[in-house]
Amino acid sequence: MEINGEQVTQILRYDQLNLSPQVMRAIQKRGFSEATPIQSGAIPPFLAWRDVIAKAPTGTGKTFAFGIPMVEHTDPAVEEVQGLVLAPTRELALQIQDELRDLCEFKEGVRTVCLYGGAPIDKQIQTLKKRPQIVVATPGRLMDHMKRRTVRLDRVQTVVLDEADRMLDMGFIHDVTRILDQMKGRKNMGLFSATISREVMDISWVYQRDPVEITVQAVADNKPDIQQYRISVERGEKAELTAKLLEAGGYERAIAFCNTKNMADRLTGLLQMRGIQADCIHGDIQQRVREKTLARFRQGKLRVLVATDVAARGLDIDDVDVVFNYDVPDENEYYVHRIGRTGRARRHGAAYTMVSTITEEMRLDEIQRGTRNEIRKLRYAEGTLLEEE
């Protein structure tokens, strides 16, 4: 880990961070004792009201890194919004709220709300009337509430942009800057992301003051343990191969990624025809249905979750056995975040990418060079998997 360009190796325990008894009790209830590198680096300056810009691999505990200081700074006696977290997707926003709720469990009087599109705004307005102190939101829906004057941000002390690069890549930069401009009196700001793009740095230059810069590299201690394979297969045999790999590996929890909504629907149907419990999530499925599907997957009632890249980031699912890239992803970054759904929490994981055309071969070659991942070559022919030289 680097802090302001200097290498730091010390990893702290939570009881070394001078946290309140209420927050310590919530952390201990989760069974945690040692902070992750990003938490060790970010929590002390954030607690001291410093601005932070943090880069760390997916699955390394960024939510607690900003959530613990935010909860500690929240005054239950002040019934106005004091902390704001912006997230690029509804799924990520909901996961952040869940973790913040856990941290607030023993801090009586601290309330949270999650504001996101695709859900009835009237219900969110009713929740806002209960005067929550912490708001987690997607930028578009938060702008809707601001226009309706159902939420006020003038008393916000801490604001965090989570998955900042993804949020700005999705075209939210104008909404984000408008929102930030409403919080003139904020005390500190955090930018947390897996990559730090030019757009993220632009936000930092304009809105942060002398930020503490933290970088956690994907080294052996925090890099997921994922065995990666690329399989040459005829396009019409991909579903059959997926089913055979599930059985051969004894995988109980799998995510299969497709590039399009139509392919996600099609693969779900092909797996269901083979007697495999599968369902899908993508942008055309109603939010309430997506949430039910995710809940079933977390509860172990679904064996395979089929998804477009809407699910590649931000889902708090840390015990997936295997990831299938049914389609080769369009971007190197998508590949990293897709396979990052497995091999988390120091578990062993596997990722299979299926290749059917020369174009896909070239795309995966580029991904392998760009991500510096070792991807073993296999070939599927006549119902048999063979390892290529």
In the prediction, which pLDDT does 68 show? 95
Q: Spell 139-171 as b/e; 16+ CB within 10 A means b.
A: bebbbbbbeeebbebeebbbbbbbbbbbbbbee
Residue 73: phi and psi, rounded to 5, are: -80, -15
Give the model's pLDDT for residue 78: 92
Q: Quick check: pTM over 0.75? A: no
pLDDT in the model for residue 347: 62
| pLDDT score for 221 | 47
Whose tokens are 């408008």? That residue is: 178
CB contact at 8 A, 92 and 166: no
Average pLDDT for consecutive 10-residue bins of the chain (389 residues)?
62 88 92 87 94 82 92 94 92 88 92 90 93 94 94 94 84 89 92 83 90 77 72 90 90 92 94 94 82 87 89 64 92 80 70 92 87 81 66
**How far is 173 from 191, CA to CA, in rounded Å?**
13
Residue 379: beta bridge partners?
232, 386
SS3 label, residue 311: helix
* Predicted pLDDT at 340: 79
Query: If we measure between CA atoms, which residue out of 8, 31, 28 comes closest to residue 19?
Result: 28
As a whole number of angstroms, the distance between CA 159 and CA 51 comes to 10
The residue with tokens 């290498």 is: 7
Q: Identify residue 124 by its one-letter amino acid code.
A: Q
For residue 5, the model assigns a pLDDT of 57
Q: How far is the C-alpha of 341 from the C-alpha of 312, rounded, in Å?
A: 7
- pLDDT recorded at residue 92: 85
Residue 387 is predicted with a pLDDT of: 66
Q: Tell me which long-range contacts 29-35 makes (C-beta under 8 A, separation of at least 24).
A: 29/102, 29/105, 30/102, 35/11, 35/61, 35/64
